[in-house]
Amino acid sequence: MRGLVIKNTGSWYTVKTDDGRTIESKIKGNFRLKGIRSTNPISVGDYVQIIINQEGTAFISEIEDRKNYIIRKSSNLSKQSHIIAANLDQAFLIVTINYPETSTTFIDRFLAGAEAYRVPVVLVFNKHDLLNEDERRYQEAVIKLYESIGYKCVTVQATAEIDSEESIEKLRPLLAGKVTLMSGNSGVGKSTIINKLLPNVNLRTAEISDTHNTGMHTTTFSEMLELPEGGYVIDTPGIKGFGTFDIDKEELTSYFREIFKFSESCRFNNCTHTHEPGCAVRKALEEHYIAESRYNSYLSMLEDKDENKYREAF
């Protein structure tokens, strides 16, 4: 029987079978995955084969290849990693222009990580109601920038009534039938948004709010929350980005879409766009085809790379 792993609590995995049952499952024997040294061989989002036993529980006998997955390194030195989620269709990055301020550097690092993992991102600008005139104008400019690069942007107000122009109801069609990772800085409104999207029977968001109130941000296990319109959201409290990823300099360029586009005209094909003659990226920057904020984010990630730092990709 094929199923989707929707929850992991230590040694038990909750598997939603293709015929709609929810079955508590365990891994059979010594189950190891090729190529990944992970503290959890199976994560939420994995498609597995299970063998159901007489007690109504099951053994996981097989795992299907993943189209992508996000990991967290257990520590900088350890080669062990923890798989947070597999087979994401997209990520929603919840941002707020203010209360709290989300920096463009944070957005760009998240986007670069998402490009590296080939996960499409929708930028969701929340707390529209709290912005003054200047902040609204600034938000519009930020949205224009990211739309011009090719990212979908939506403005919402998570605390608004249903009929508001910024209602989170407009997120539903974007979520339907997909597996979506919900990300963003603490305080931007992730729990509020998830809470509104889920049917009342789901108690999970209450736990999340509690976690926030006590200032604790460590949750070892992720969970997929089923949406009424089909699809799932993955909430990973305490995890803000795509984790560490190791990339070479040329690759970094390709994670900034518009910079990559111009880099094809650079004189040297290993151009880092910092000092080289004939650099089409710096020319585009001067002519304002590339935003300074984007170029600065690129430089800051390049610098991490130079210092050979293991950095969180956000």
Q: Candidates 45-53, 112-120, 136-144, 269-277: pick the segment binding Zn ion (CB under 5 A).
A: 269-277
CA–centroid distance for 82 within its chain:
15
| Alpha-helical segments (H) within 163-291 | 172-175, 190-197, 204-213, 249-254, 257-263, 280-286
Those residues with Cβ within 8 angstroms of residue 216's Cβ, 6 or more apart along the chain or in another chain: none
Q: How far apart are CA 102 and CA 16, in angstroms?
A: 36
Partner that binds at residue 212, options Zn ion, ligand GDP, none, CB closer than 5 to 8 Å by kind: ligand GDP
One of 72, 128, 273, 294 touching Zn ion (CB under 5 A): 273
Does the footprint of Zn ion cover residue 252 (CB under 5 A)? Answer: no
Does the footprint of Zn ion cover residue 171 (CB under 5 A)? Answer: no
Whose tokens are 């690069």? That residue is: 149
Counting Cα atoms < 13 Å in the Cβ hemisphere of 270 gives 2
Report the relative pairing of strands 22-27 and 47-52 from DSSP bridges.
unpaired
Does the footprint of Zn ion cover residue 158 (CB under 5 A)? Answer: no
Partner that binds at residue 281, options Zn ion, ligand GDP, none, CB closer than 5 to 8 Å by kind: Zn ion
* Number of residues that this document lists for the chain: 314
Report the relative pairing of strands 90-95 and 81-86 from DSSP bridges.
unpaired
Cα separations in angstroms, 173 against 22, 168, 195, 231, 314: 25, 10, 17, 11, 27
31's tokens: 């189950």
209's tokens: 């709010």
Residue closer to ligand GDP, measured from CB, 125 or 242: 125
Partner that binds at residue 279, options ligand GDP, Zn ion, none, CB closer than 5 to 8 Å by kind: Zn ion
| Binding map of Zn ion across residues 276-295, x = CB under 5 A, - = no contact | ---x-x--------------
Partner that binds at residue 189, options Zn ion, ligand GDP, none, CB closer than 5 to 8 Å by kind: ligand GDP
Partner that binds at residue 104, options Zn ion, ligand GDP, none, CB closer than 5 to 8 Å by kind: none
Per the CB < 8 A criterion, the answer to whether 298 and 249 are in contact is no
Partner that binds at residue 266, options ligand GDP, Zn ion, none, CB closer than 5 to 8 Å by kind: Zn ion
Residue closer to ligand GDP, measured from CB, 33 or 216: 216
Whose tokens are 């550097």? That residue is: 105
Q: Where on the chain is the footprint of ligand GDP (CB under 6 A)?
A: 126-127, 129-130, 157-159, 184, 186-192, 212
Q: How far apart are CA 310 and CA 239, in angstroms?
A: 16
Report, in Å, the least distance between residue 162 CB and ligand GDP.
Answer: 14
Report, in Å, the least distance between residue 134 CB and ligand GDP.
Answer: 17
Residue closer to Zn ion, measured from CB, 133 or 248: 248
Report, in Å, the least distance between residue 276 CB and Zn ion.
Answer: 6
Residue closer to ligand GDP, measured from CB, 98 or 296: 98
Partner that binds at residue 158, options Zn ion, ligand GDP, none, CB closer than 5 to 8 Å by kind: ligand GDP
Residues of this chain that interact with Zn ion (CB under 5 A) are 266, 271, 273, 279, 281
